[in-house]
Amino acid sequence: MNIRSVNPATGQEIQRFPSLREGELRAILEQIPEAAKAWAAEPLSTRAKCLREAARILRARAREFATLITQEMGKLLTEARSEVEKCARVCEYYAEHGEIFLADNPLDSDADRSFVAFEPLGAVLAIMPWNFPFWQVFRCAAPALMAGNIVLLKHAPNVPQCANALEEIWRDAGCPSAFLNLPISVRQTETVIGHPHVRAVSLTGSDVAGRKVASLAGACLKKTVLELGGSDAFIVLEDADLDQAAQVALKSRFLNSGQSCIAAKRFIVVDAIADAFLERFKAGIAKLRAGDPMEPETTLAPMAREDLRQTLHVQVENSIARGASLVMGGHFLERSGWFYAPTLLDRVGPGMPAYEEELFGPVASVIRVREEQEALRIANDSRYGLGGSVWTQDIQRGERLARKLACGCAFVNGLVKSDPQLPFGGIKDSGYGRELSLPGIQEFVNAKTVWIKSV
């Protein structure tokens, strides 16, 4: 089976890559115990050095890697550069804090001495998506490697060049056997999940994929971390700074052409200021310019795949058919590549795909409400629970509502984003487990209780 790399801005094939044959995959899997043992034996200082070197490589070759990301999945080159820099920062974060995070934790007990030791599990399979082809991998790999695990990467099939580059970075950083790229099929992935040498699985993807992976891993009693889809609420209250809210709404919804799990997707706006907010939001959307994502004047990138664009369009059309008002957009752009017009839907309500489902593309859905309690109810009326934000000039009010949002991360007057310093993850159909910060490195360790008493 060949894996194709296609430029979303042109629709043209770039290159094809062979997938692993069954014998090649078996040989790699048989080498896991030795590789895992060797990496786990490396002192924390060596692991930290590897992470710092990876950060150096990322910055030294930032333009090259950003170009690769843009050509393979379509995002703006400026956004790709930011993604590469963020990967360098997460490496430095765990290199700096890893030894503290993994230090023995002393506990009081009836022993002379007792503590929790944090030991690596072994091999972690990372099943990663295409939308942030470097960042999604690094936010899993950096803590996993620092903790002494080895990482097996099963990347999305439309970013094979990124996958190869990631393996090269870690090899050049000094841990050639601790990070391995596996260009394999779905069927082969199921084999890897079930292999006894693989001890845990981390998946970022759809809730459909999450259920499948969790089922397969659960049958083998293997730990999983699932970061799945989201339909984040962006609540704008009557006392919000509307200029600021509209500016951040534009960035949150249309960054990466709207293809982000933590993008704001449902804009829940109080009636009293709904028209004023909509006017500002619409003005910002109207300024977006589609074009070559390599060019600095382009502000709207193509979608990553043609099938994703078609799925999004059907969701938009079905929402309009069920009563949503089309303010702007709602169609393919007549140019080469997989561009979709930036779209704004108003008066979205229950029963519409724009209300019930995740719209993974450049479409903003506005839901009008009477007051904050209705806003909160609608925000939580979702099977997803990844992130959400509240916009108000009353900070106490904002915190009170943020605490009541049913999600994994709630922001007040700020863009919902992932940050190495903050735990990241969701609830409900957005998955379970946490990445980043202290919880991120603790997901894939054996927290071993050690109890010692003299005789």
85-136 tens-digit pLDDT: 999 999 999 999 999 999 999 999 999 999 999 999 999 999 999 999 999 9
Q: Tell whether 425 is covered by a domain.
A: no
Question: 208 with 87, same domain?
Answer: yes
Question: 371 with 440, same domain?
Answer: no
Question: 242 with 135, same domain?
Answer: no
Write down the pLDDT at residue 413: 99
CA 368, CA 271: separation in Å to the nearest integer?
6
Percent of the chain residues past pLDDT 70, beyond the cut: 100
CA 263, CA 253: separation in Å to the nearest integer?
5
**Domain CATH number, residue 164:** 3.40.605.10
Across 260-286, average pLDDT? 99
Question: 325 with 392, same domain?
Answer: yes
* φ, ψ dihedrals at 426, nearest 5°: -130, -175
Count of domains for the chain:
2
Reported confidence tier of residue 160, pLDDT bands at 50, 70, 90: very high
CA 168, CA 417: separation in Å to the nearest integer?
27
Write down the pLDDT at residue 359: 99
Question: 295 with 406, same domain?
Answer: yes
Around Cβ 453, how many Cβ atoms within 10 Å? 10
Across 194-210, average pLDDT? 98
Task: Locate 308 and state its tokens.
Answer: 């994703």
Question: 163 with 309, same domain?
Answer: no
pLDDT in tens, 243-260: 999 999 999 999 999 999
7-18 CB burial, b ≥16 within 10 A, e <16? bbbbeeeeeeee
pTM, two decimals, is: 0.98
Average pLDDT over the chain reads 98
**Domain CATH number, residue 329:** 3.40.309.10
Question: 143 with 287, same domain?
Answer: no
Across 210-231, average pLDDT? 98
Long-range contacts of 82-87 (CB under 8 A, 24+ apart): 83/132, 83/134, 83/135, 84/58, 84/59, 84/134, 85/58, 85/59, 86/135, 86/138, 87/55, 87/58, 87/134, 87/135, 87/138
Reported confidence tier of residue 278, pLDDT bands at 50, 70, 90: very high
Is 67 exposed, middle or buried (CB count within 10 Å of its CB: 0-12, 13-18, 19+)? middle
Question: 196 with 128, same domain?
Answer: yes
Q: Tell whether 424 is covered by a domain.
A: no
Domain holding 292, by residue range, is 232-419
Question: 241 with 169, same domain?
Answer: no
Question: 220 with 252, same domain?
Answer: no
> Which of left, alpha, beta for 256 (phi over 0: left; psi -120 to 50: alpha)?
left
Q: Tell whether 164 is covered by a domain.
A: yes
Write down the pLDDT at residue 1: 76
Is 143 exposed, middle or buried (CB count within 10 Å of its CB: 0-12, 13-18, 19+)? buried
pLDDT in tens, 371-424: 999 999 999 999 999 999 999 999 999 999 999 999 999 999 999 999 999 999
Question: 290 with 396, same domain?
Answer: yes
> What are the beta bridge partners of residue 344?
328, 364
pLDDT in tens, 324-371: 999 999 999 999 999 999 999 999 999 999 999 999 999 999 999 999
Q: Tell whether 110 is covered by a domain.
A: yes
Question: 266 with 197, same domain?
Answer: no
Q: Tell whether 221 is covered by a domain.
A: yes
Task: Show which residues are catalytic.
Answer: 227, 261
